[in-house]
Amino acid sequence: MKNLEVLVRAFDLVRKKQANVFLTIVGSPTPGKADEGRYYERILNLVRELKLEDNVAFSRSVPHSETPRVYNEHDLFVNLTVTGSFDKTTLEAMACGAPVLVSNRSFREIFSSSLQSISIFEESNPISLAGKISDIISLSLVHRKELGRQMRSLVIEKHGLSRLADKIIQIL
């Protein structure tokens, strides 16, 4: 599962302190996968239960070609993938210059210590995530953009095409 309940609960904590925040959840249940449909309904019900309907939007899945637009339309990207798996969407968001928050401890190998303290929250902990969201949205636009630039530089340096080419050459 996507751990979206952690995000919704964290967002609820943030919204209680700052009413003018908005959350967009992008993605749709896979047709024919009943468990995903039930999970999606649970998240919708949680949003209703917490009375977040005016602040949470659900967007259908978007084609890969449109993801840069989605990343650039938002101030922050949150990924709740657990440690032990890796979701490339975080790197895609970083490549677009979006500040990211992750619970996946694998990012300790990617982020500098200063980025770790800003961007890694405790897995399955809405309070930890809410604190990180609050920290980032309280930054000035200039500082948020600079954070995004640092993340973009990092992903280009460590995961860019030239880096991939070097790895392929070493393998061959």
Gap between the Cα atoms of 117 and 121, Å rounded: 8
Please determine, for residue 30, whether its predicted confidence score (pLDDT) is greater than 50. yes
- Rounded to 5 degrees, φ, ψ at 150 are -60, -40
Please compute the mean of the pLDDT values over residues 148-162 and round it to a whole number.
82
Instruction: Kindly report the pTM of this predicted structure.
Output: 0.90
pLDDT score of 165:
47
CA dihedral (40, 1, 148, 154) positive or negative: negative
CB 110 within 8 A of CB 79: no
Residue 102, pLDDT score = 96
β-strands 100-102, 77-79 pairing: parallel
